[in-house]
Amino acid sequence: MYDVAKIRADFPILAREVNGKPLVYLDNGASAQKPQVVIDAVTRGYAEEYANVHRGLHYLSNLATDKYEAVRGIVARFLGAASEDEIIFNSGTTEGINMVAYAWAAPRMQAGDEIVLSVMEHHANIVPWHFLRERQGVELKWVDTDATGALDAEKVIAAIGPKTKLIAITQLSNVLGTQVDVARICQVAHEKGVAVLVDGSQGAVHAPVNVAEMGCDFYAITGHKLYGPSGSGAIYVKRERMDEMQPFMGGGDMIRDVSKDVITYNDPPMKFEAGTPGIVQTIGFGAALEYLMELGMKNVAKHEADLAAYASERLTGLNWLGLQGTAPGKAAIFSFTMEGTAHAHDISTILDKKGVAVRAGHHCAQPLMQHLGVSATCRASFGLYNTREEVDVLVDALELAHSLLG
């Protein structure tokens, strides 16, 4: 049974107060809180087991290397990858997508080639492709959401043309909570010889993932949203795509031999991991993924679906609230404005006084904000430890904000 009270006790920060009120943490879409097992893994990593990895022959270096390298298998298991050699460590999704842009896309795309994107991408899955547009004349093709915030996979597929080389798409919108049928997109894209990069930053947090079944070429995740340390992350790269990639960051660890005239590279995935990595962050990331697998991502998804249904019901009852995104099956991420002149920042400040942490702004998704015709929204994003009672606290705090600002 999913015992949310017991789970909450695993997260020490949830016991604290903010502004004299119990913390109601609804900013999980930005970054999630950490369970004690992750905090312990990080503390132990520095206090007892720290040394640089891969280089030394001494005890601590071997221990740190073993702990660090074991995480590759944990990530592969979490994502359903066929082999841990398909996992490249990094500092998070932003680095993962930039790596694909520099190491895979840039060397193989010419002026006029196309990348298909959805309008609800995070800037991390937009800006690296703009670089290719600016530098190489690559064209970006955008697919819009409908009035409910749903993104029709068939519209993405219809955007594929003879010059399309890549579809770069989120599995789950960080603003609207919309889920995308990425498996369907991968299936058709591959029939047409087009690669698919899936931004799994939000998708992997809320439901089980299996990249082999999904059929994507690249799948990026970020540790801090998965209840792990910031500065940790990974990207799954299908083996044949990894073979097509050129290393883009040079330094220690990614080489086999260096002389004045030639270099030879390490085997993948290390060929794409230059320099001293986030050793302890990655070890903490492994602890977070093991924690999630123990809870069971199916159970997390079920709990969050209940929260999403309850929050939808309560929030749609507030007829002065402008809810953005009501697509069927949406995740427990709610963006909203308030009728009148209330600014998202003012709303979030009032909520904060009630101990409710939400995010206000453009959520690094400015093309989506333009599409929605708003400059900013407030966003309440739920996680595995949130409760129906916290939905009620949010609604009470919103009613207060409306009475003060409306």
Active site residues: 364
Please tell me whether residue 178 binds ligand PLP under the rule CB under 6 A: no
Long-range own/partner contacts, residues 314-319 (CB < 8 A, 24 or more apart): 314/391, 314/392, 314/395, 315/395, 315/398, 317/395, 318/395, 318/398, 318/399, 318/402
Measure the CA–CA gap between 396 and 402, rounded to whole angstroms.
10
Q: Which of 93, 178, 335, 348 binds ligand PLP (CB under 6 A)?
A: 93
Among 27, 86, 199, 273, binds ligand PLP (CB under 6 A): 199
* Stretch of residues binding ligand PLP (CB under 6 A), selected from 4-12, 118-126, 155-163, 336-344: 118-126
Looking at beta carbons only, is 225 or 402 nearer to ligand PLP?
A: 225
Check binding of 284 to ligand PLP (CB under 6 A). Answer: no
Nearer to ligand PLP, 109 or 198 (CB): 198
The only residue of 98, 170, 266, 377 in contact with ligand PLP, by rule CB under 6 A = 170
Encoded tokens for 71: 């995480």
| Helix/strand number for the chain, H first, E second | 16, 17
Nearer to ligand PLP (CB atom), residue 81 or residue 368: 368
* Least Å from the CB of residue 402 to ligand PLP: 27
Q: Does residue 206 contact residue 384 with C-beta atoms inside 8 Å?
A: no
Query: Of these, 201, 232, 282, 337, which contacts ligand PLP (CB under 6 A)?
Result: 201
Distance CA 394, CA 389 (A): 9
Q: Which is nearer to ligand PLP, 145 or 170 (by Cβ)?
A: 170
* Preceding peptide of 35 cis, ω within 30°: no
* Alpha-carbon distances, residue 9 vs 6, 388, 393 (angstroms): 5, 17, 19
Task: Please list, in sequence order, all residues whose beta carbon lies within 8 angstroms of the beta carbon of residue 107, skipping any fewer than 6 positions away.
Answer: 246
Site for ligand PLP (CB under 6 A): how many residues?
A: 14
**CB-based contacts of 194: which residues, under 8 Å, 6+ apart?**
160, 164, 165, 166, 167
Interaction between residue 377 and ligand PLP (CB under 6 A) = no
Phi-psi region of 24 (alpha: psi -120 to 50; beta: other; left: phi over 0): beta
Q: How far apart are CA 348 and CA 352, in angstroms?
A: 6
Q: Counting contacts by CB under 6 A, is residue 266 touching ligand PLP?
A: no
Residue 386 binds ligand PLP, judged by CB under 6 A: no
Nearer to ligand PLP, 201 or 281 (CB): 201
Q: Is 94 in the site for ligand PLP (CB under 6 A)?
A: yes
Q: State yes or no: residue 337 binds ligand PLP (CB under 6 A).
A: no
In whole angstroms, the minimum distance from the beta carbon of 206 to ligand PLP comes to 11
Give least dist CB 350 to ligand PLP, A.
24
- Closer residue to ligand PLP (CB): 49 or 121: 121
124 binds ligand PLP (CB under 6 A): yes
Give rounded-to-5 percent helix, strand, coil for the chain: 45, 20, 35
Please report whether residue 42 would count as binding ligand PLP according to CB under 6 A: no
Q: Supply the minimum distance, in Å, between the C-beta of residue 93 and ligand PLP.
A: 4
Q: Note whether 348 binds ligand PLP by CB under 6 A.
A: no
Q: Give the helix ranges, DSSP H, for 10-164.
A: 36-47, 59-79, 93-99, 106-108, 127-136, 153-158
By CB under 6 A, name the binding residues for ligand PLP. 92-94, 122, 124-125, 170, 174, 199, 201-202, 222, 224, 364
